[in-house]
Amino acid sequence: MTQAKRRSRKLGWRFVVLGVVLLFLAAALVRNVWVDVYYIPSVSMEPLLVTGDRVLVSRTDFAAAPIRRGDVVVFDGRGSFTSLDSGFGPLMDAAVGTGQWLGLVPNNNIYVKRVLGVAGDTVKCCSAGGLLEVNGVPVTESYLYPKDVPSEISFEVTVPQGKLWLMGDHRNVSLDSRSLLGAPGGGLIDTERVIGRPVATVWPLGRMHALERDPVRAP
């Protein structure tokens, strides 16, 4: 083999390695700035999200429109929801494993829940009719898991500025803000901890569909 051919082969491999590196850098940029894919390991958001779903999460959705009551959000639970680990066992009931689509180790500090209270809201359960109340108005929650009650735990919380009150749709099994009543932070999370909004289920194929925003309206 001539020296020119050896040099050509080396250059070819360098281009391949460079291409792979650039591909991973581009994927990392997209995942950290625009969208990411998360794995759902629990039943706490059924029937909207079921175990094994992969969901596409937009990191920019709330830049165009603020977080509203009824929005489903993916968020970092460090400093708030991670307290569940000490009193309620494995976090897999509430966590969203991330990175599993690339075969990486999941991050058990990431959660998915529905926003039931934004800054200034008073969220209470339950009304005389057994419904969740927001600012004194009973709300009908069409997304609840069939036959679940709004909450088996009685509570009344006023949400401060910069905070959110969150609950799972499969209310009877979800570990959420209610589970941290009395703990530091009272189950409220910082809006800055929100990573983004699930916009579509992308796997398995039979579950592929867009996830629309489902507002909870109250005065």
Residues 111-130 pLDDT 10s: 899 999 999 999 999 988 89
Other beta carbons within 10 angstroms of residue 182's beta carbon come to 7
Domain that holds residue 108: 34-210
The label of the residue with tokens 């997304």 reads 143
23 with 93, same domain?
no
56 with 107, same domain?
yes
Q: Per-residue pLDDT tens for 141-151? A: 999 999 999 99
**In this structure, is residue 219 part of a structural domain?**
no
88 with 173, same domain?
yes
27 with 41, same domain?
no
Q: How far apart are CA 126 and CA 128, in angstroms?
A: 7
**In this structure, is residue 195 part of a structural domain?**
yes
**In this structure, is residue 49 part of a structural domain?**
yes
Our count of domains for the chain comes to 2
27 with 38, same domain?
no
Q: Per-residue pLDDT tens for 4-57? A: 555 555 555 555 544 444 444 444 444 454 578 888 888 999 999 999 899 999
15 with 79, same domain?
no
19 with 41, same domain?
no
17 with 59, same domain?
no
16 with 117, same domain?
no
Helices (H), 54-178: 61-64, 84-88
106 with 3, same domain?
no
Q: How far apart are CA 35 and CA 59, in angstroms?
A: 6
Other beta carbons within 10 angstroms of residue 208's beta carbon come to 13
Question: What single DSSP character describes residue 92?
Answer: G
pTM recorded for the entire structure: 0.78
